[in-house]
Structure 1
Amino acid sequence: MRHLFASLDKEKSMTLKDDLTRVLFVGLLVVLTGCSNTEVSGQTDMAIEAGVSEVSSNAITAISFYVQLASNGQLVSPEASSFENMVTRFNEAHPEIRVSLEQSVTQRPSILEATRRYDCFVHYQDELKSRHANDLLSLSPLFEAESSVFQEDHASIHLADYRLEGELYGLPAVSRPTLMAYNADLLAQRGLELPSMDWTFEDFLELSLAAASLDDADRSYGIAHGDDLLFTNGRNVGWVRMSTYPPSAYFDGPQTQVHLNWLKLMQDQGVLLNYHSDNYKYVQQEITNGRVAFWEVLAGDPSLYYFDPEQELPFEVGVVPMPLVPDPERTATRNFLDRGYFISRHSEAPQACWEWIRFLSGQPDVFIGLPVRRSVQESQAWQALYGDGTAQAYLQAFAQRQPEHNLAPVIWPLNELRAQAIEDALNGGDVAQILADAQEKADIYLACIGDLYIPELADQVVEQRVQVCAEQINVSFGVDLVAQLVFQEYAKAGT
């Protein structure tokens, strides 16, 4: 028999009505699925009383759980010990369920592969596609059977990221927004005020210009930056127009030429230290030696991406949200690296997985970064992990997020063209010629995309068309942000 609700929810006191709702729902789930859990030894009858199942000691429901760990600049994630501790705590508190944990930093099964190997797992939200609906369990019935307290603890804007055709296929777990780290000692040395939580792009430029120095005896940079999104959105530069379909590219317009020449000037004046795969070690050296005022980090990173987390920082470092840009529809935050909980449709123990996920979702110290549940964000336990100032920066950065544009699957090859054009210009190329070449490729790509209309097509069809069209302009397909970060971790480790 299926073993349900082995213990009361430790995060809240549930009403009898809530208990009965959950019991009735799970009973219906058992009838509909006709599945039985894997039992390590023996079987037992189940008695349900006020949402609690009473089971004999020899009946254990075993579930396999996989987590894609955050790497944090290390090949051994600080999340590893957290999950091991959580498994021990949960197994002791729920003797009728046995969680078997598998975790990895560099080995990353796809969502589809994970559904075939594990009962439940943690994975990156941006990889959730409509084609996964056949292999993922819809969490909508489980979620809706919970109390209103639990449901309202998850903001609808975050739940929407895990919905396919209205069904909830994942439960938001953690987010790691991009923030701006700053060298407080260098800013003080230059007689500058520290950035505030609500600073603007103009504030950022003013501080970066004032912090930079070309003096060999006192050299410093304003910002180490490897992506133009901050400057593009801060200066409201229009590379691509997405208000109509198909989108339009304006790579060789006068605005983009002015922008690239401005970036070159910022580099020449020492304001911008542009980093890429070939100069990572140099950038790391300049930052750790205290010669860079600003650089980007991900929430929860104790190494601030460039430092040894086991050693004391050589100078005072603070973090603030990315600066506010003029257009409220834009954001200077590049990514969030959201991860969520998923249950395989092939699992024979979905309810045990849900109990485990519910337990994890209420813990403040499972993941590095920002927990998505409101009550956990507001808890003293979570805020104490990072300190009031840093925790506030995480929360404010999280609140600045913008919904992903529905044309995002089509736009990424154009973003690759933009990034390559900027790199070529900063390496000394002719700006006008670089942009003319980029515009020609953009036109070829958009002509290939044609009248592809995303809302009416499966994401796999869109991906295939985008891949074919991207190959026509020699843009590689499928190098996602997570893969890039894993590559960078190996580079840091010297492997």
Structure 2
Amino acid sequence: MVESHPSKRTLSRRNFLRGVFFGASGVALAACVAPQAPQAAQTEAGGSGAAPAAQEAVTLSFLTQGGNDTAFLRYEPLIDNFQKANSAITIEPIWEPGGAIEIQTKLLTLIAAGDAPDVYWAHSYTNSGQAVRNIQLDLNPFLEADPDISGDDFLLAAWKDFQYEDRQIGFPRETTSTVMIYNVELFERHGLPLPTDNWTWADFLEAATAITEGDGPDKIYGTADWHLNRNTWIKMWQKGGDVLSEDRTKFTMNQEPSISQVREIQRWHHELGIHLPATVAEAGGFTTGDLFTTGKIGMFPQFSVFSNVMASEFPWDIAHLPTDPDDIRTTRVASAGHSVYSGTEHPDAAWQWIKYLGSEEAFRHWVEATGLNVPSLKVVAESLLETSADVLPEHAQIMLDAFEYGRPEPVAGDWIGIHREVQPALNSIYGVEKADPQQALDAIAARVEELAVYVPGV
């Protein structure tokens, strides 16, 4: 059952978790107050997230994902540990099942009711829409006053996922970059050179064409998953195109250079036949990962979580996405993390909590207790590559290197709604309908532009 008010879970669960892991809407938004600068108090030396010594007792509400044991394991031990070191601060969690859209709905409902959380789980897909309303507290004044934490500690593109204009509106927790996964055996069988750091789209096309063979259910496809909007966008970005104009108000996928890239991916599907039709997987109830593990796909772009291809009985690896000499080296990054509500009455205590959630101690807990795949804190991400070397691909370092040139999606307004408009249009272009790209994208332009300027809660 969804809890509609702050609550703690049972003491027995809290004690158990402590022992295991730390043994030693219809209503208008309330006006958001202006961000407050941090007080002069300094943290205690050596204390991760330590509170000022003379701080008054405060209770912070913390809205985050809940509803299953993994969600509780993710935060309850951290809450206990933080409160031990900060006896003046009590964290009251608000558990809300779901993802970005469910958490945002809950957040806006609580703000409208005058019961907003002090700190909350956030996602890059909803950040900018909230930032237009100044919902997030600008953390720059706190970062400037506190030498213990810095943006340099985090993977670059993940850190940028929590920026809006000149404001730092939160800290990333987990993140992903998009890389190419490829079947080494298929490349070697066809005498193809393996992808390098500077392979081109011509190299990609040559490999995809050579690997594609057979007919019917036994057909092997050179590539897959470029039909997904997020992957189409990367190819557009490389050529200087985008989903929206620079001010994020106008739809530009139906203009050059973006539309040429849509036409090229359409050619892979229909004229060249090197791309797995989405309907092949959907009709059989398979995922792209399932088909890759059976040797039916040569390579495909995916965000850097590899659990879906671990069952492969052949060697596989990852590579940077191809680029041509005049391209912009880029890829897609998406992140989730935490923000402070700009209307909090306890900005200094909220800073201590979110700073702790950005600490090495918190990140190592998430990795060890809940299997966080790509932590955004550099030191933990890099050590995870070392400790997991036996199960990760040989060139796993590439997924971290990609954060140096990756970029967030041009998030604006109802970004999840924009995803839902663009994907069916691409499905009609790349699918059996073979829709004309110009007509299909022109047809959704007005609706995308409405969603792009939508302000949540208004």
How many corresponding residue pairs? 395
- 1:64 partner letter: S
1:325 to partner: Cα distance:
4.5
> What is the DSSP-based 3-state SS (H/G/I as helix, E as strand, rest coil) of the residue aligned with 1:322?
coil
- Amino acid in the other structure paired with 1:288: T
Which residue in the other structure is 2:453 paired with? 462
Residue 321 of structure 1 aligns with which residue?
320
Structure 1 distance, partners of 2:198, 2:169, is 35
1:400 equivalent in alignment to 2:405: yes
In the TM superposition, 1:275-294 aligns within 5 A as 275=278, 278-279=282-283, 281-284=285-288, 285-294=290-299
Structure 2 gap ranges (5+): 1-36
Q: What aligned pairs does 1:245-394 form with structure 2 within 5 A after superposition?
A: 260=263, 263-264=266-267, 266-267=269-270, 269-275=272-278, 278-279=282-283, 281-284=285-288, 285-299=290-304, 301-304=305-308, 312-329=311-328, 331=330, 333=331, 335-363=332-360, 364-365=363-364, 366=366, 368-378=372-382, 380-381=383-384, 383-385=386-388, 389=394, 391-394=396-399
3-state SS in 2 of match to 1:26? coil
Residues 83-482 of structure 1 correspond to what in structure 2 (within 5 A)? 83-101=75-93, 102=95, 104-106=97-99, 108-110=102-104, 111-113=107-109, 116-128=115-127, 129=129, 133-147=133-147, 150=150, 152-153=152-153, 161-164=161-164, 166-215=166-215, 219-225=219-225, 226-227=227-228, 229=232, 232-233=235-236, 236=239, 242=245, 260=263, 263-264=266-267, 266-267=269-270, 269-275=272-278, 278-279=282-283, 281-284=285-288, 285-299=290-304, 301-304=305-308, 312-329=311-328, 331=330, 333=331, 335-363=332-360, 364-365=363-364, 366=366, 368-378=372-382, 380-381=383-384, 383-385=386-388, 389=394, 391-402=396-407, 420=424, 422-429=426-433, 434-435=436-437, 437-438=439-440, 441=443, 445=446, 462-463=453-454
AA in 2 matched with 1:338: S
Is the 8 Å Cα contact of residues 183 and 316 (structure 1) preserved in structure 2? yes
Query: What do residues 386-442 of structure 1 show as CA deviations (whole Å, max 9, x unaligned)?
Result: 658454122122122246659x669999988875555334444466xx346337637
> Offset at 1:369?
4.4
- CA 1:360/1:295 → structure 2, altered by over 3 Å: closer, same or farther? same
Shift of the alpha carbon at 1:252?
A: 9.4
- Give the Cα–Cα distance (whole angstroms) in 2 for the partners of residues 257 and 151 of structure 1: 37
| Superimposed CA distance per residue, residues 198-240 of structure 1 (whole angstroms, 9 cap, x where no aligned partner) | 4332332222222211256963111121236279539959798
TM-aligned CA distance change 1:267 to 1:289, over 3 Å: farther
> Aligned letter for 1:294?
M
Q: CA 1:183/1:95 → structure 2, altered by over 3 Å: closer, same or farther?
A: farther
1:327 and 1:91, CA in 2 relative to 1: closer, same or farther beyond 3 A? farther
| Distance verdict in 2 for CA 1:134–1:315, change over 3 Å | same
Sequence identity percentage: 20
Question: Any conservation in 2 of the 1:383–1:391 contact (CA below 8 Å)?
Answer: no
Q: Output the TM-score relative to the length of structure 1.
A: 0.61
Q: How far is the alpha carbon of 1:272 from its aligned partner?
A: 0.2
- Residues 315, 360 of structure 1: CA spacing in aligned structure 2 closer, same or farther, 3 A cutoff? farther
Residue 237 of structure 1 contacts residue 256 of structure 1 at CA under 8 Å; is this kept in 2? Answer: no
The 5 A counterparts of 1:16-55 are: 26-27=39-40, 53-54=52-53
**CA distance, structure 1, for counterparts of residue 71 and residue 335 of structure 2:** 15
Shift of 1:83: 3.5
- Which amino acid is the alignment partner of residue 321 of structure 1? H
- How far apart are the structure 2 equivalents of 1:381 and 1:329? 29
Q: Report if aligned partners of 1:221, 1:291 keep a CA contact under 8 Å in 2.
A: yes
- Structure 2 residue identity aligned to 1:291: K
- Tell me the residue number matched to 2:64: 67
Is contact 1:162-1:172 (8 Å) kept?
yes
How far apart are the structure 2 equivalents of 1:64 and 1:122?
A: 12
- Given that 2:131 and 2:164 are in contact with CA atoms closer than 8 Å, whether structure 1 keeps it comes out as no
Q: 1:388 to 1:186 in 2, by over 3 A?
A: closer
Q: 2 CA distance for matches of 1:230 and 1:186?
A: 27
3-state DSSP of counterpart to 1:463: coil
Q: Describe the shift of the 1:85–1:391 C-alpha distance in structure 2 as closer, same or farther (beyond 3 A).
A: farther
Structure 1 residues 441 and 313, CA gap change in structure 2 (3 angstroms)? closer
Query: Does the Cα contact within 8 Å between 2:178 and 2:333 map onto a contact in 1?
Result: yes
Residue type of the alignment partner of 1:208:
A
Change (3 A) 1:123 1:198: farther
Letter in 1 for 2:207: L
Q: Is the 8 A contact 1:201 1:323 kept in 2?
A: yes
Shift of 1:86: 3.4
Gapped regions of structure 1 (runs ≥ 5) = 1-23, 30-46, 70-74, 450-458, 468-495
Partner of 1:488: none
Change (3 A) 1:302 1:148: same
**Shift, 1:149, TM fit:** 6.5
Look up the equivalent residue of 2:440 and give its one-letter code. A
**Contact 2:241–2:256 (8 Å) recurs in 1:** no
> How has the CA–CA distance of structure 1 residues 337 and 359 changed in structure 2, closer, same or farther, with 3 Å as cutoff?
same
**Contact conserved, 2:172 with 2:336, CA < 8 A, in 1?**
yes
SS at match of 1:397: helix
